[in-house]
Amino acid sequence: MYAIVEIAGQQFKVEKDKKIYVNRLKEEEGKQITFDNVLLIENGSDVKIGTPNVSGASVSGKVVSHLKGDKVIIFKKKRRKGYQKRSGFRPYLTQVQIEEIKG
């Protein structure tokens, strides 16, 4: 069983007991969190597709930790001009453990 959920403007495929990394959420570590914006639920051969959301469906999870991701390199270059610029950043992420899919 899996579900497609929209979290913080991005869509994620989630399964029970899996950990996902999402953009930083406001909830504290150890808190329960519920996502109601479920776009699709698949249970064996039974597939429910929302228009745009599946009614009555929700995904609950637990915030495991807040962390910084791997460095993202941004490289800009203009050919034949001698212009090169390199910069980067480490995105702030939240690790979420999926506990239950209702629907």
Banded pLDDT at 103 (limits 50, 70, 90)? confident
**Residue 92 CB neighbour total at 10 angstroms:** 12
Q: CA-CA distance, 9 to 63, in Å (whole number)?
A: 18
Helix ranges, 9-69 (H): none
Residue with tokens 């609950």: 60
Mean pLDDT throughout 4-9?
94
Q: Which amino acid is at 94?
A: T
Is 61 in contact with 94 (CB distance < 8 Å)? no
Which tens digits make up the pLDDT trace of 48-70? 999 999 999 999 999 999 999 99
Region of 44 (left: φ > 0; alpha: ψ -120 to 50; beta: rest) is: left
